[in-house]
Amino acid sequence: MSLRDKIGQMLICGFEGTSMDGDLRRLVTDNNIGGVIYFARNVESPAQIARLTADLQDAAAQSGTAPLWITIDQEGGMVARITEGVALMPGGMAIAAAGSEQDAYLAAYTSGRELAAMGINLNYAPVLDVNNNPRNPVIGVRSFGESPEKVARFGAETLRGFQDAGVAATAKHFPGHGDTDVDSHLDLPIVPHDRERMEEVELKPFREAIRAGVDAIMSAHIYFPALETRKLPVTLSRAALTGLLREELGFRGIIMTDCMEMNAIAEHFGTVEASVMAVEAGADLVLVSHRLDRQLGAIGAIELAVKEGKLSAERIDESVRRLLAMKLWRGVLGNRLSPEGQPGNPAASIPVDIDPVIIIPDPIDPVVGIPEASGSASGDTIQSASFTADLSILNSPEHREIARRISEASMTLVRHGLPMLPLGGERTLVITIAPAVATLVDESMTAGAGLGSALKRHGLDCGEVVIPPSEIAGSLDSLIREAVSGGYGHFVVGTYNAQFDAAQISLVKSLLALRKPLAVAALRNPYDLLAFPEVQVYAASYGSRPLALDSMAKALLGLIPFRGRLPVSLGELHPAGWGLEL
């Protein structure tokens, strides 16, 4: 491999569109990139994803480039890029609320099998951040909760599930993004805790993930003064990535960066310059999710740093050997070393001293070796020269049943101070706050049907309003008039991150002033209760995907019991572990 080839392997690149254009092809064939990341902007359907994957892998094969990492953020729940045509599992906090570590494994294994069927071989999950800050704007329900021990246990089972399904797992965001009140997509957070506190809280889940053999760990764009004397985020800190993670914690897998175009990096250090700094610090994979100029700039800057002696050739070889070894381990370069369903431990087993020249495939003759673009498709099978997708397992009844069972078990009744539940005795006005992009990790949100539609589907006589957060203030008077004049005996409000939204708080308090029974269902962060402690009937679903809405509707109607337990504390009266049964 040339120096340029090796550096390309250290880049994961994002792109626009749902098919391969000339720029993307050149990134693969001319720049030898290590892989791509799929966002919602790249997704139309599972079949389209499988065809795009086939095209990408064929392009790599045709040019003699190593097969690609095909990566995605498919955490489950509210952070998922593929939401249609698959069995979308609940998110981390919902799984923790349901309480079964075995289900954490099963959800990840099931999701992993579906990802692998579409050719996706690396997932940016699980989230191992300990969410002990109610004002955290970016982690929230993505976390398994506020207990380091619980996050460690559920995280380890989740990563095992993905990896046993043949998909590399990524523990994130090292050493912990849970105790921040700043979104690193927007600025550089600072976590001031000393090292003793970090050992007790933030680092526990990552130590357990390393013991469990996690394939990759993603760095956080956060400054920890306890780890770094200079004001550098962990992603750019040699003391954190090499000193702590590689040497002290003994991690032998892949160290990757979070996206280098996030403001915590781009605005403070510059994406291109910081890519060199991340490699200096010890990163093996650099993630640049959006702009082609920054992707090519990062490759060129790393190459120049080697030629000028700022980075050694040995430093590049170290990462490339590790990356290719992991591709071999996970079957990206051929047959897996660890058969499906049999747990392996790459942290102890990958041959990091292999020679990358030996395992790069020869180029395929484009005349005889590559079928027509998008391969050939027959029913649930998509076939190309280098990849076969069997989509028949996607969204199967068995997989949907796993998701449904976990979702229903997660529904949590926090407060029941009025004889209002189960619903059904009074005509009810149901106001659902539509999901909205609260942070760039959400990428996009579709409003869809609300909680009222789910309640109607299960037999409740109700009026329904679905309203985006941005429209509440201008519609508040009309909403209250409807509540007064519509003949309703009960009100239900499905909130969405209300703790960060004065308009939602005003809506709930205005309905309370009408002195009729009111129930609030938190459809994302359960911390919404802290914004209006006067509410006497309060439940949490940890998400507003259709399955979560259906589960909450069933619980409010008494068709299923509330069985979930809070993974986080909502004040002294409702500590972690709290949950009423009804």
pLDDT, residue 187, reads: 62
The pLDDT of residue 375 is above 60: no
In the three-class reduction of DSSP (H, G, I as helix; E, B as strand; rest coil), residue 205 is classed as helix
pLDDT, residue 177, reads: 86
Q: What angle do CA 361, 367, 372 make, to 5 degrees?
A: 95
Q: How confident is the model at residue 355 (pLDDT cuts 50, 70, 90)?
A: very low
pLDDT, residue 440, reads: 65
Task: List residues bridging with 429 in a β-sheet.
Answer: 463, 491
In the three-class reduction of DSSP (H, G, I as helix; E, B as strand; rest coil), residue 432 is classed as strand
pLDDT, residue 382, reads: 84
List strands edge to edge, sheet with 388-390.
Answer: 376-378, 381-383, 388-390
Short-list 205, 153, 200, 145, CA closest to 570: 145
Return the percentage of the chain with pLDDT > 70, whole number.
Answer: 89
Q: Which two tokens stand for residue 29?
A: 């064939």
Q: Which run of H or of E encompasses 456?
A: helix 451-457
Which of the residues 55, 103, 164, 258 is marked catalytic?
Answer: 258
In the three-class reduction of DSSP (H, G, I as helix; E, B as strand; rest coil), residue 194 is classed as coil
> Which amino acid appears at position 408 of this protein?
E
CA distances from 498 to 1, 275, 506 (A): 53, 37, 10
pLDDT, residue 234, reads: 94
pLDDT, residue 189, reads: 78
pLDDT, residue 384, reads: 75
Q: How confident is the model at residue 368 (pLDDT cuts 50, 70, 90)?
A: very low
pLDDT, residue 126, reads: 98
Q: What is the mean pLDDT of residues 356-366?
A: 41
Q: Which two tokens stand for residue 218?
A: 């993603």
Q: What is the mean pLDDT of residues 37-61?
A: 95
Short-list 414, 417, 411, 433, CA closest to 557: 411
Short-list 329, 312, 311, 177, CA closest to 253: 329
Active site residue 258: yes
The pLDDT of residue 340 is above 90: no
Q: How confident is the model at residue 345 (pLDDT cuts 50, 70, 90)?
A: very low
pLDDT, residue 486, reads: 93
Active site residue 490: no
The pLDDT of residue 114 is above 80: yes
Q: What is the mean pLDDT of residues 20-40?
A: 95
0.85 exceeded by pTM: yes
Which of the residues 173, 185, 399, 574 is marked catalytic?
Answer: 185
Q: What is the mean pLDDT of residues 492-504?
A: 95
The pLDDT of residue 373 is above 60: no
* Tens digits of residue pLDDT in 542-578: 999 999 999 999 999 999 999 999 999 999 999 999 9
Contact 342, 349 (CB under 8 A): no
Provide the mean pLDDT of the chain.
90
Q: DSSP states of 371-389 as a string?
A: -STT-EEETTEEE-SS-EE
Q: How confident is the model at residue 129 (pLDDT cuts 50, 70, 90)?
A: very high
Comparing 183 with 421, the larger pLDDT belongs to 421
Q: Write down the residue that tokens 């650099």 correspond to.
A: 286
* Tens digits of residue pLDDT in 430-482: 999 999 876 666 666 666 789 999 999 999 999 999 999 999 999 999 999 99
Task: List residues bridging with 377 in a β-sheet.
Answer: 382
Q: What is the mean pLDDT of residues 28-53?
A: 96
pLDDT, residue 338, reads: 40
Q: What is the mean pLDDT of residues 302-319?
A: 96
Q: What angle do CA 81, 86, 89 make, to 5 degrees?
A: 75
Contact 318, 354 (CB under 8 A): no
Q: What is the mean pLDDT of residues 375-383?
A: 63
pLDDT, residue 179, reads: 81
**What's the number of CA atoms in the CB half-sphere (13 Å) around residue 508?**
31
The pLDDT of residue 288 is above 50: yes
| Lowest pLDDT segment from 380-389, 409-418, 457-466, 513-522 | 380-389
SS3 readout for 124-178: CCCECCCCCCCCCCCCHHHCCCCCHHHHHHHHHHHHHHHHHCCCEEEEEEECCCC
Q: Which run of H or of E encompasses 58?
A: helix 46-63
End-to-end CA distance of the chain: 63
Q: What is the mean pLDDT of residues 75-81?
A: 95
The pLDDT of residue 68 is above 80: yes
pLDDT, residue 445, reads: 63
Phi and psi (nearest 5°) for 546? -50, -40
Peptide bond into 422 cis (omega under 30): yes
Q: How confident is the model at residue 245 (pLDDT cuts 50, 70, 90)?
A: very high
Domains of the chain: 3-393 (3.20.20.300), 411-556 (3.40.50.1700)
pLDDT, residue 264, reads: 83
CA distances from 560 to 73, 329, 552 (A): 31, 43, 9
Q: Which two tokens stand for residue 112?
A: 């992993």
SS3 readout for 11-47: EEECCCCCCCCHHHHHHHHCCCCCEEEECHHHCCCHH
Peptide bond into 185 cis (omega under 30): no
Short-list 81, 1, 77, 102, CA closest to 39: 81
Q: DSSP states of 291-347 as a string?
A: -HHHHHHHHHHHHHHHHTTSS-HHHHHHHHHHHHHHHHHTTTTSS-SS-TTS---HH
Task: List residues bridging with 522 in a β-sheet.
Answer: 495, 540
Contact 243, 226 (CB under 8 A): no
pLDDT, residue 186, reads: 61
The pLDDT of residue 359 is above 70: no
Distance CA 139, CA 149 (A): 18
Q: How confident is the model at residue 185 (pLDDT cuts 50, 70, 90)?
A: low
